[in-house]
A = this chain, B = another copy of it.
Amino acid sequence: MDELDSAIVRELQRDARQSNRDIARKVGVAPSTCLERTRLLRERGVIRGYHADIAPSALNRGVQALVSVQVRPLSRAVIDAFKAFTVGLPEVTAVFVMAGSDDFVIHVGAQDNEHLHAFLVDRLSQRKEIVGFRTSIIFQHLAKHDPAPLPEA
């Protein structure tokens, strides 16, 4: 993971669909070299994939929320089962397994408040391992797809 790899990764984070030639030119290396580097980054698991960023409203997910969930007992079996359950639900777009007072934070998207409510009541709260959950509506979601590198300190 030298400076060249970082530069390539940065470019692919910014725009994953620009041509290999363009990336090569920007990072100052031959296209064949850039291609080989990219292949290795993928192989090493540094690059996990390439995904289009889609406007949620276009996917019928105009309403989004974070749901904090506490489950009991806090055993591996229960955690794994609940995790697998939530990931399988179409409304769920991300699952965080947490330390602290909440065991899970689930990012969900639904068509509107009514659908969100139905999801919470009909799907989520069915699970017997849940001993409590709290839903917070997301007004705005800003994701940084091209994060600045961390300071060295």
Which A residues contact B (CB, under 8 angstroms)?
Answer: 1, 9, 12-17, 45-55, 58-61, 66, 83, 87, 90-102, 105, 110-111, 115, 118, 134-151, 153
Contact = CB atoms under 8 A, between A and B. Distances in A.
Contacts of A52: 9, 12-13, 16, 47-50
A134 B68 CA distance: 13
Given A16-B51, A48-B53, A51-B50, A98 B148 contact: no
A90 to B, nearest CB: 4
Given A55-B46, A98-B136, A100-B136, A90 B149 contact: yes
A110 B150 contact: yes
Contact of A50 (B53, B55, B149): B53
Nearest to A86: B142
Contacts of A83: 140, 142
A50 B50 contact: yes
